[in-house]
Structure 1
Amino acid sequence: MSSATIGKKVPAFKLPATGDQEISLSGLKGKVVVLYFYPKDSTPGCTKEGQAFRDLHDQFTALNTVILGVSRDGVKAHENFKAKQSFPFELLSDKEETLCNLFDVIKEKNMYGKKVMGIERSTFLINDKGVLKQEWRKVKVAGHVEEVLEAVKAL
């Protein structure tokens, strides 16, 4: 599979998601898409990031923008996380790392002194024509969602 490149159309994808659905890029035609990858449901940083997207969700929606969270957790874990945090957007389950590999977000990380492969917190902005316009890698949660919102406004 090819990889997502800024300025090029994002290759088609389809993944299981919360709300008992499958979400595909083609099903989002005509909408701006914010795809944010996070390491794990219900962990402190991931919860804060999701809450920030939740809190600004209305502003994104007003700009014809869909927010989608992606991690390797299963749909059941996603449903619990989404319900507990009242997320108004869907979470995609990427257990096979298809989308993670497409966007090259699986990186070696240090976890309690051990090297593990995991998702590097990253966000991608896809315009309403399916073209990757911007990416943020090694994301720090504080202020990030506001930065993404400004980028959407600038499209």
Structure 2
Amino acid sequence: MIKEHQVAAKIELGKKVPAFKIPSSRGETFSLSSLKGKKIVLYFYPKDSTPGCTTESIEFNDLLPKFKKENTEVIGVSRDSLKSHDKFICKYDFKFQLLSDEEEELCGLFDVIKEKNMYGKKVMGIERSTFVIDEDGKLVGEFRKIKAEGHAAEMLKFVKSL
């Protein structure tokens, strides 16, 4: 659903992130331009309600007031459906929105779909990654192959350093 600007190229550090629209857990279409003037921590995770993804999301939720003090929105993205996101949000009382990228368009833009080894079988899935976008829509941070535990605190520290 990335209609605002169909994107062929991948994003680059220091460059503006192309405008996009994607379904949000808030029952609306999320538009990157709606957060102009705020920093964004956009974290991609493999799957709702799995151990690492739950840990990472709970930590972001716990630190949300501190991110807000830094004029920063936290947004999670996975290939899960909005229905799955709703269950995940309700179960853990998340206070931030999750974006549903079932078509993998946003995942493609940020190049997070990678070959993974799951129980000896090769599968394509989301590589846990986080991107920080500044108030002007520029990509100022790119973090790949991250560990879930403690990552939210690292992102808060990074945002504070901007």
Question: TM tier, shorter chain?
Answer: over 0.9
Q: Which amino acid aligns with 2:141?
A: Q
Tell me what 1:86 maps to. 93
Matched, 1:2 2:4: no
Q: Which amino acid aligns with 1:39?
A: P
Tell me what 1:142 maps to. 149
Tell me what 2:24 maps to. 17
- The answer on whether the counterparts of 1:3 and 1:11 sit within 8 Å (CA) in structure 2 is no
- The answer on whether the counterparts of 1:120 and 1:138 sit within 8 Å (CA) in structure 2 is yes
Deviation per CA, 1:36-59, whole angstroms, max 9, x where unpaired? 000000000000000000010000
- The answer on whether the counterparts of 1:2 and 1:11 sit within 8 Å (CA) in structure 2 is no
Q: 1:2 Cα deviation (Å)? A: 1.6
TM-score by length of structure 1 reads: 0.98
Matched, 1:152 2:155: no
Q: 1:142 Cα deviation (Å)? A: 2.1
Calculate the aligned-residue CA RMSD, in Å.
0.7
- The answer on whether the counterparts of 2:39 and 2:134 sit within 8 Å (CA) in structure 1 is yes
Deviation per CA, 1:105-155, whole angstroms, max 9, x where unpaired? 000001111100000000000000000001110010122111100111111
Q: Which amino acid aligns with 1:40?
A: K
Matched, 1:45 2:52: yes
Q: Provide the secondary structure at the position in 2 that maps to 1:76.
A: helix
Tell me what 1:27 maps to. 34
Matching residue within 116, 126, 131 for 2:123: 116
Q: 1:16 Cα deviation (Å)? A: 0.3
Q: Provide the secondary structure at the position in 1 that maps to 2:23.
A: strand
- The answer on whether the counterparts of 2:21 and 2:30 sit within 8 Å (CA) in structure 1 is yes
- The answer on whether the counterparts of 2:56 and 2:150 sit within 8 Å (CA) in structure 1 is no
The number of aligned residues is: 155
Structure 1 regions of 5+ residues with no counterpart? none
Moved over 3 A (4+): none
Q: 1:4 Cα deviation (Å)? A: 1.1
Rounded to whole Å, the distance in 1 between the matches of 2:19 and 2:101 is: 14
Deviation per CA, 1:45-101, whole angstroms, max 9, x where unpaired? 000000000010000011111110000000010011011111100000001111101
Matching residue within 92, 102, 112 for 1:105: 112
Structure 2 regions of 5+ residues with no counterpart? 1-7
Q: Which amino acid aligns with 2:63?
A: L
* Identical-pair percentage: 60
Rounded to whole Å, the distance in 2 between the matches of 1:57 and 1:153 is: 13
